[in-house]
Amino acid sequence: MRVRTAVSSLNHAIANLVALMLLLGLVAACASNGGRREMAQPGQGYGPDGRPLPGSQAPARPAVKVALLLPLGAPGNTAGIARALKQAGELALFDFDNPNVTLMAKDTRGTADGAKTAALAAVSSGAELIIGPLFAESVAAAAPIARQANIPMIAFSSDRKVAGNGVYLLSFLAGRDVPRIISYAMSRGKSRFAGLIPKGAYGDIVAQNFRSAISRGGAQLVALERIPLDANGMLEPTKRIAALAKSEDPQFPAQVDAIFIPAGPDSLPTISALIPYYEINTEQVQLLGTGLWDYPNIGKEKPLVGGWYPAPDPKGWRAFTQRYVKTYEKTPPRLASLAYDAVSLAVSLSTNPKGQRYTARQITRASGFAGVDGLFRLLSDGTSQRGLAVLEVQKFDSRTVDPAPSVFGTAQF
């Protein structure tokens, strides 16, 4: 009898010990789950393709497949830029925490034939949206394949000739920022404009937009000089504009109160050196630029300090760069924000039912989208519009003098 009692007591003790160990195991599981009181049950997670994990009892949730066409196998620096764009797209997925979107990278190799192959692979993989390619010839090669499959493309080329008919360009397009800076200058009392616009295809587009913006605003275009990019060729056109920006009689204003110089870091330092040489007083005559002015250390060119130019709000780019560097331990190229914004757009529209996610109506919605570089929207002709800030050149950095619009109703184009 005593033996039976001892055995019974021992069994009872073992049972209590097992129960205690199970309880401790459950407590540990709760603690390892970030301190949440609820415990994850087996089979309730989804994999990166949007399908339930093995053993899951959760209902199937079809993945939304988005193809990313990039020149990952191209020679030289192009492949590095392509990898950065891919990483930026992946960072967008991570930031938005949307496991229902699958990003499928396809290598265009930087060629037209490669782009065709990549587009065919995207279609056969079930992509509902194609992001990329990067180069105009690749976009032109991939577009017919995407079009035939009724898949829209959001590409990174800045060549307007490849836009339209289902192809949308998210890139910063030449001339689209000109109305923003001209309208701001007018709001600050400037009404008599001159332009020193470089020769070439970019200058042609910018000159046309410059004339149109002045005409729409009711201001006066006093003079427009097209300048070659060699130093000697710049001398006479700049001298003629300088003569209009001076006044011999202080009682009468100069014929020009704003000079528009849409040049970039390759030629802007040379042009800016001619401003004091020809005695243009930048305290009386406002210097204006385009987004080409948005480069580091522009304030090293002293004549440009105080000049205005349109650009995305720099806070967005700084925040994106910090996240990118923290994740990949490298500084992203400036183009990386385009891939991030394109994938963000794809994620934001992915919650719509299949067949209604990436329609032309959804992609070109009037309210647009918010991205790293601020407000943007894609238009039915395949081009894009952006809500830009106006920055003023400072000695060590640029500062925002007019913030970017928060809605398109107040944006200037």
Per-residue pLDDT reduced to its tens digit, 232-265 = 899 999 999 999 998 766 666 789 999 999 999 9
Compute the C-alpha angle 33/35/36, nearest 5°: 75
pTM, to two decimals: 0.80
Nearest to 341 by CA among 91, 173, 107, 139: 91
Nearest to 110 by CA among 89, 84, 141: 141
153-155 and 129-131 as β-strands: parallel, antiparallel, unpaired?
parallel
203: which residues sit within 8 A by CB, 6+ positions away? 197, 226, 262
State the pLDDT at residue 397.
85
| CA separation for the pair 119, 110 (Å, rounded) | 13
State the pLDDT at residue 29.
33
State the pLDDT at residue 100.
87
Residues in the chain predicted with pLDDT less than 70, given as ranges, are 1-62, 248-252, 410-413
State the pLDDT at residue 17.
37
State the pLDDT at residue 63.
87
| CA separation for the pair 8, 17 (Å, rounded) | 14
Q: Is the dihedral of CA 197, 206, 287, 374 positive or negative?
A: negative
| CA separation for the pair 178, 211 (Å, rounded) | 10
| CA separation for the pair 311, 391 (Å, rounded) | 7
Number of helical H runs and strand E runs in the chain: 11, 15
- Note the pLDDT tens digit of each residue in 25-45: 333 333 333 333 222 222 333
Helix ranges (H only) for 223-376 are 231-244, 268-277, 314-328, 336-349, 360-363
| CA separation for the pair 320, 337 (Å, rounded) | 8
| CA separation for the pair 220, 319 (Å, rounded) | 40
391: which residues sit within 8 A by CB, 6+ positions away? 293, 294, 308, 309, 310, 311, 314, 398, 399, 400, 401
Q: Is the dihedral of CA 107, 85, 101, 94 positive or negative?
A: positive
Compute the C-alpha angle 169/174/175, nearest 5°: 120
Residue pair 317/337 in contact (Cβ under 8 Å)? The answer is yes
State the pLDDT at residue 230.
87
